[in-house]
Copies of this chain bind each other. A is one copy, B any other.
């Protein structure tokens, strides 16, 4: 028998990433394809299965322990359905687990993408060896995943860890979710860049003014670079975001009380410039009466966390015997 492998699939709004992953979380082979969600769920999932079959073609099926797929939510996980998703327009109650199982012949684990990424950091990433952790994925919005004693926190309605939509300002900035004052309105890099651009349009001076004029916009990395180069507006905007990220970390500390908090997503590419600021604000905001502060760290797996975590969940099911039971029962 050759080396055993699990298949991981990370279904995003723009790309589908598929990989063969070893028992210790190493990517042995990976394929990335553009997602075309508007072509309909069944077609996309059929193509997804074709990529999986292509990947495992060169391997004996006996060496594949299972398949894990991470998808945008909200899900109806117990029923194996993608409920709907802003990133997959038109998809509604898609039985992705059943379809993938039929089209690949593999046992399929199915998870929210943010949870899969959190599991990856816990399994073989920044949190290897901790009892549990919470990830904050600072991207278009703020995703999150919560691992407690090695298990994903799913919640009664299978929609836990939507920390991007906890409210940090009563009657604050309107959010696309319909609420006001959501954490992600203050902490997500997309909103940081939008906020800086608004201030410049309202007359604030900034070295980012030229980029705004020339390109019509910029991202949070541009804000970080301008801030590091001494631009006052950029520095203020970046700093405010880090204060809110720290507030989110304090709230996670006092609710979940995890051993570790992992900062991930596009914004974490700014590395120490993000981490140092967040740590500094966290230290000034949290209490000193009891020493229960989590370690604050950066993601180690970056954009591969989703696909590694999805495969990790297939490994977990295989090792716990859940997969073999499923097969025996079918």
Judged by a CB distance under 8 angstroms, whether A1 is at the interface is no
Provided the pairs A156-B132, A163-B254 are in contact, do residues A179 and B287 lie with their beta carbons within 8 angstroms?
Answer: yes
A157 adjacent to B255 (CB under 8 Å): no
Task: Select from chain B the residue with minimum beta-carbon distance to A155.
Answer: B257
Q: Chain B nearest CB: distance from A200 CB in Å?
A: 23
Number of interface residues of A (CB under 8 A): 49
Q: Which of B159, B243, B288 contacts A178 (CB 8 A)?
A: B288
Judged by a CB distance under 8 angstroms, whether A315 is at the interface is no
A291–B287 CA distance with the chains assembled, in angstroms: 34
Task: Spot the interface stretch: A97-105, A164-172, A270-278, A318-326.
Answer: A164-172
Q: Chain B nearest CB: distance from A112 CB in Å?
A: 12
Q: Chain B nearest CB: distance from A247 CB in Å?
A: 5
Residues on B with beta carbons closer than 8 Å to the beta carbon of A252:
255
Task: Select from chain B the residue with minimum beta-carbon distance to A251.
Answer: B166
**Chain A 161-197, CB within 8 Å of chain B: the 1/0 string?**
1110111111000000111100000000000000000
B257 adjacent to A256 (CB under 8 Å): no
Judged by a CB distance under 8 angstroms, whether A81 is at the interface is no
Q: Which of A83, A169, A180, A257 has the most CB of B within 10 A?
A: A257
Q: Chain B nearest CB: distance from A98 CB in Å?
A: 22
The binding surface of chain A is classed by DSSP as loop
Residues on B with beta carbons closer than 8 Å to the beta carbon of A132:
156
Provided the pairs A157-B292, A167-B250 are in contact, do residues A179 and B286 lie with their beta carbons within 8 angstroms?
Answer: yes
Provided the pairs A290-B83, A292-B159 are in contact, do residues A254 and B165 lie with their beta carbons within 8 angstroms?
Answer: yes
Judged by a CB distance under 8 angstroms, whether A244 is at the interface is yes
Q: Which of B74, B256, B291 contacts A290 (CB 8 A)?
A: B74
Q: Chain B nearest CB: distance from A188 CB in Å?
A: 15
Residues on B with beta carbons closer than 8 Å to the beta carbon of A156:
130-132, 257-259, 292, 294
Q: Which of B180, B243, B250, B251 contacts A251 (CB 8 A)?
A: B251
A290–B8 CA distance with the chains assembled, in angstroms: 27
Q: List 21 A-B contacts (CB under 8 A).
A: A131-B156, A148-B153, A153-B256, A154-B257, A155-B258, A157-B259, A157-B291, A157-B292, A159-B257, A160-B256, A162-B255, A162-B257, A163-B255, A165-B254, A166-B255, A167-B247, A167-B250, A167-B251, A177-B287, A178-B288, A255-B255
With A156-B294, A180-B285 given, name 14 new contacts (CB 8 A): A131-B156, A146-B255, A156-B259, A157-B257, A159-B254, A159-B257, A160-B255, A160-B257, A167-B168, A167-B250, A168-B170, A169-B170, A178-B287, A178-B289
